[in-house]
A and B are shown apart, each in its own frame.
Chain A
Amino acid sequence: MRTTYCAAMLAATLATAPAANAVDFDVEITNLSNAIYFTPFLVAAHPAGNNLFVTGQPASANLQAMAEGGDTSGLEADVTALGATIVTNPAGGLLAPASSTSFNMNTDGTSNDRLSIVAMLLPTNDGFAGLNAIEIPTAAGTYTFNVNAYDAGTEANDELITGGGMPGVAGIPADPGGVAGTGGSGAASADANPNVHIHRGTLGDTDAAAGTSDLDSRVHRWLNPVIRVTITVN
């Protein structure tokens, strides 16, 4: 009965206006952190019932590629297959600490009523920020979402700057802020939790030439939330 009802409603809506979930909205992403950079964001408005990741479940290969190296091409192909409304790399490169990027989206004529946003935290091994399929508001107004950092669970958090960004390659691709050290012995071995989970944060140390980590505990740590997403429905 419910399915029939919904189908009838959809047909009626389509007959009068093709805009079942028409919504025109502006999105602002703010990097709240003090010293973390974000790789280019993938922003997708997509149909309900789809997720780029599920906490407590293993990461997909495409999520792993994003989380370990910032490569969103696989996830972009995934959401393209869903007919998603997509914005990639809105900041035109890395989003620096305490910086913002803004853009417009319009889902007119689609069933894309959920919004997902992902990007990798640098410098981390496989940390990413994830807004996970939130329902896009439809009433005019401004809505704020604080977004947490997750660990993809796919790579040891060794905190060593090795340039390793390919899936399965150990190490951190880079520290865009340029303050990381060298010579660390490795802060951690393989993740005990191989599923997507809230990131436990960076350990770091205060020894730029040795110690266990190449990261600086006084610079590279963060507390959740790591980004703020502000949606303004026009």
Chain B
Amino acid sequence: MTHRTTMLARLLALGLGTTLIAACGSSNNNAPPPPPPPPPPAMASFDVTVTNLTNGQPLSPLAVVAHQDGYAVFAVGAAATAGLEMLAEGGDNTALIAEADADATVTATASGTAPIGPAGSDTVSITVLESELPGLIMSVSTMLVNTNDAITGINGVSVADMQVGDSTTWQAIAYDAGTEADTEAAIHIPGPAGGGEGFNAARDDAADRVAMHSGVVSQDDGFAGSDLGGQHRFDNPVAQVQVERTN
């Protein structure tokens, strides 16, 4: 909206200036023709489709961010943002999207509307000004909800060179947000395997930073304190992410 407003303002200013110059250089008093309406700004649209490749890990509703260099969902070795923590622990993407919307290098955001079950998929459309295409980067985030704080997605891939009809697919691996200890206890797992607590502001993992997820151990594999079963274990890749430029 900021960009559209700026563009309209510029067009209006230009039209006014032209009118003034024409009035100064002319001796008749005929009313100048109204300026032509500005053309609608050209837009580019992408369909982002995430397919859940796991056996028993539903994925929370997607957070899709189109941005320029300068924004990242996370960096390995750095502490998660509060927005990422809320997504990773509870599957709630609203704070992550709000953080992105507040970032000057973010062009557009979009949210999925429902969780994605195993073998399921969801497509989220996102539209940007065509003028934002040079350098455009796409990021997608979602939680593996039968875990303490596992996330997956794509963290900054270039879509700048995609033409209408082009499609690219990435295999996504699981990361640990590092914000919650991997207790595998039902009281800490918001997904259907636990029904427990989602977000908790306490950061009680061994190290408060993002790294790759080591996988779920599960009670079936000797972790007596775990409420997860073998069906909740996963291996990489955990999701497939396809980005298609549709307009």
Bound Cα distance A225, B210 (Å): 15
Question: Is A97 interfacial (CB-CB < 8 Å)?
Answer: yes
Interface positions, chain A 200-231, Cβ under 8 Å from B, are 205-206, 217-226, 228
Q: Which residues of A contact B221 (CB under 8 A)?
A: 217
Query: What mask results when residues 6 to 34 of chain A are scored 1 for a CB within 8 Å of chain B, else 0?
Result: 00000000000000000000000010111
Q: A206-B224, A218-B182, A223-B235 are in contact. Are A34 and B212 (CB under 8 A)?
A: yes
Chain A facing B: main interface SS: loop
A217 engages B213 (CB within 8 Å): no
Bound Cα distance A223, B236 (Å): 7
Bound Cα distance A205, B206 (Å): 18
Q: A30-B77, A217-B221 are in contact. Are A97 and B215 (CB under 8 A)?
A: no
Question: Is A111 interfacial (CB-CB < 8 Å)?
Answer: no
Q: Which residues of B contact A228 (CB under 8 A)?
A: 76
Q: Which of B174, B176, B210, B214 has the most CB of A within 10 A?
A: B214
Q: How far is the CB of A145 from chain B (nearest CB, A)?
A: 14
Interface size, chain B (Cβ < 8 Å) = 24
Q: A217-B222, A223-B235 are in contact. Are A32 and B76 (CB under 8 A)?
A: yes
Which one of B210, B213, B217, B235 contacts A218 once the chains associate, using CB atoms below 8 Å? B217
A98 engages B236 (CB within 8 Å): no
B207 engages A97 (CB within 8 Å): yes
Q: A30-B76, A34-B176, A98-B207 are in contact. Are A222 and B212 (CB under 8 A)?
A: yes
Question: Is A51 interfacial (CB-CB < 8 Å)?
Answer: no
Bound Cα distance A100, B209 (Å): 13
B214 engages A223 (CB within 8 Å): yes
Bound Cα distance A222, B175 (Å): 11
Q: A99-B77, A205-B222, A223-B173 are in contact. Are A217 and B217 (CB under 8 A)?
A: yes
Q: How far is the CB of A219 from chain B (nearest CB, A)?
A: 8
Q: Which residues of B contact A100 (CB under 8 A)?
A: 76-77
Q: How far is the CB of B73 from chain A (nearest CB, A)?
A: 15
Q: How far is the CB of A101 from chain B (nearest CB, A)?
A: 11
Query: What mask results when residues 170 to 183 of chain A are scored 1 for a CB within 8 Å of chain B, else 0?
Result: 00000000000000
Q: How far is the CB of A197 from chain B (nearest CB, A)?
A: 16
B interface, CB within 8 angstroms of A? 76-77, 173-174, 176, 178, 182, 206-207, 209-215, 217, 221-225, 235-236
The list of the 4 closest CB pairs from A to B, nearest first, reads A98-B211, A98-B77, A32-B212, A221-B214
A interface, CB within 8 angstroms of B? 30, 32-35, 97-100, 146, 205-206, 217-226, 228
Beyond A30-B77, A33-B212, 13 additional pairs, beta carbon < 8 A: A32-B212, A33-B211, A34-B214, A35-B214, A98-B210, A100-B76, A146-B173, A219-B214, A221-B215, A222-B214, A223-B214, A225-B236, A226-B212
